[in-house]
Structures are given as structure tokens and as C-alpha cells.
Amino acid sequence: MRKLFGTDGIRAVAGEAPLDRKTIYAVGLALAHQLNGSHAQPKVLLGMDTRESSGWIADTIAAGLREGGAQVENAGVVTTPAIAYLARQHGFSAGVVISASHNPWQDNGIKVFGGDGYKLPDETEVRIEAEIFRRLENVQAPGPDAAPVVNEKYRRDYEQFLRSAFPDLNLNGLRVVLDCANGAASAIAPELFAHLAGTIHLTHTSPDGRNINANCGALHPEVVAAETKNLKADLGVTFDGDADRAMFADAHGNVVNGDAIMLLAARDMKERGILRNDTVVATTMSNMGLEAALRRDAIRMLRAPVGDKYVLERMQQEQASLGGEQSGHILFPHLATTGDGLLTSLVVLDILRRSGRALHEIVADLKVFPQVIVNVRVREKKPLDQIATVTDTIRAAEAELAETGRVVVRYSGTEALARVMIEAESEEAMRRHADRIADAIRAELGA
């Protein structure tokens, strides 16, 4: 069982274990050693988001990588999917991103991609973890050092990749609101969209190290939705801190999440004959309404555990060409190896342009079951099936809801939270069961 890596890398409060200097240095050493086993002279590309801690964390892991025998290059502030693309495109042994995605500024994290542009498999992370713990017994935190000077060519190469994916896309006549979450998208989206014509209204593009995701971005899609309605824009797009996901807003100010985006993309891809096996892979968190809407178009929906890496694994097993999460991670493997918020926004805009229809029109028949998610902060992540009061409460909810709802209870892979998700035709039953399960978890494990 992994102790450092969650569903999306290592994540914690910056400066506190496991994101203290000593552990970060050990991560660099361990990763370099793992790469030395398969590469004669490993090369690693670094990227980061806009948190004030990202710079010193990049410096520290770079020191460990170099001490371990790896060459290191620096792409500076770029999105997570940019590093995935660039690592593969330029023949790096691995790509490392310093980011905590949608978390608040005090947190940070380390995400690692292989040279193929994919997130590391669980078994590789387990091996790296074991070596990190071994090295921590003897390693000392490094003195002042610095990551290599930023090479701007990498950001430009990634922007060119995005433009080349949709060379004929033109937004002339459209009004689009972009919320960059004061994160990594701030370094790329303004220039990217300037080439697409249209009227672009940029918001939250002034990172100061502490305002990333603060009342903005994909964690607060209602912000861009309100701005879209106020400006009478055609579409709103909002990214998270590292821009590996995107949420949307229609012209009426309604939030359009990843479920709706998978629906419109699936229909478009099926019509064009590129939806392999007429299959979409979602997660346990996707709404039952998506499943019903896809079924009407003779498209089957499969579910994977939460985490885009697990969605991708299921997609590869099923040879599927579309998958994603309700939270806005959408996977288009014919275009990229990982979820990419900027790329997803271009996909959606391209579909709207070709169809000549508005976003709300295309997804109007998506009837969403009432759904609630209750987050319970926990002091430890004890297996829930070992807590009788919790399992009994969950079983009671499942028995009552039967075919009219769903119960999903899981731990967050990136935070000390238990997430209780209830979906039901009856809103009263939904809230009642969500509160009961949350109370049971709080009584046993509440922080």
C-alpha cells in the first residue's frame, strides 16, 4: 500500500513532511536511481505551477535528481499536461511537475510522468516509495541550490501543439470568458486564445503565489458562470491550478461539468466514427443521468475508480477512445496522454463551431439525478469496511435506494477527507442518507 503517492502524486502542506526539503531531495535521488536502471543517462524535465513554494521545491528535487545522476531541464511555469506532452515529444526519461492542482496555495505536490507521457503505474510508485524511505535514513537536506534556468522553448512548443491540434478553429463572432485560476494556465491561455480571434475575456490571470484557486478556477465554477451571464458571453471556461482539467458555463450562466462534456464529445465522436467500441469510461462519481443519456445514443458507459490514471487504465483495457471525470479531467487518447484542460476547451469549442449550436442546446437532454457530496475531515484513513457503524449505515442507504440511487463512499486520494456521495431520485432521501453516513464517519474518525 502506498504511503506517499496518492491518486495524483505526492501532495501535502509545503514544508511539512513529506514535502519537507529532506524528503523532496530523497524523492529526486530515488527517481534518478529508478531511471538509471532503464536509461544510460536519464534526462528529466521540470515544470511547476504558480505557488510561492514551487520554486524552492523545484530547486530541491533538481538537486536530488542531479546528485542521482540525471540531467535536469526546466520548463518553468507550465501546465501539468504540458510536461506530459513535452517529456514524450523531446525524449525525456521522465517529467516532473511541482503542483497541488486544485488545492489551496499552502499545499504543493510532486507529479511524475514517464518518458511515454503517462503517469507512473502504481507498482513503479511503490518501488520509488520504498527507495525514498531507505534513503531518508541517511540523507541530509541539501544546502542552497537552484533548478536550471527556465528554457522558454518548451512552453512555446506546447502552445504550438495545442494550435496544431485544431488548425482551422476560429472563434470569430464568439464571446468567451476564461478563468485561469491564477495558476499555470495564466502563462499559456492568453497567448493561445489570442490566436483564435473571437472576443476573449480573461479573468484570474495575475498569480501572486498565494491566490491560486482562491475563489476562482474549476473548484469554483459558479464564478465563471456568473461572469459569463453578466457579460452575455457564449461560453465560459475555467481551469484548475495546473490546468489538467476544465469546467464550463453556458450562456445562461449554468455550470457544465465533465459529465456533460463527455456526453457532447461522445456524440460528436460517434457521429464521426472515432468513438471506439461505442464506449465511454467514467468514474463512480459520474451521474446516473449521463449513463441514461449515453444509452439513448447506443453508447455504453463503464465506471472506473476515481482518478484519471484509473480511467485511462480502464480505457486501455476496453480500447475506448473517450473517458473522464465529472470534475473535468477528460481523456482524448488520440490527442494526448493525459487530461488537459486547455485541450478540452479547444475540443468543446471545435464541436460548437462545427455544429453551429450553443452549449446548452447540445446537452439539454442530460437529466441530472440530484446528487450531494459531503466531505468529512478525518484524522486517519482506516478502511471503512472495518468500521461496523459506517458499513451498516451505508448498507441501509443502499437497501432503501436500490435502483433509484447510488451510494459511493471513499477517501480522497489527495486530502485527509472521506467523501460521501449520494445520488437519488428523491432529494430528501439523498440528503438524509448522506448526513447519516457522514455522521457515522465523523463519530469514528472525525478530525
Residues contacting 181, CB < 8 A, separation 6+:
204, 212, 213, 216, 217, 218, 219, 238, 239, 240, 241, 243
Separation between Cα atoms, residue 222 and residue 247, nearest integer Å: 10
Q: What is the layout of strands, in order, in the sheet containing 371-377?
A: 371-377, 417-424, 405-411
Residue 164 a catalytic site member: no
Q: How far apart are the C-alpha atoms of 109 and 24, rounded to whole Å?
A: 10
User: Cβ(34)–Cβ(131) under 8 Å?
Assistant: yes
Using CA atoms, how far apart are residues 347 and 61, in angstroms rounded to an integer?
A: 35
- C-alpha cell of residue 338: 493525459
Comparing CA positions, the residue from 307, 339, 303 lying closest to residue 411 is: 307
- Residue of 53, 54, 101, 321 marked active site: 101
Q: Which residues are catalytic, by number? A: 101
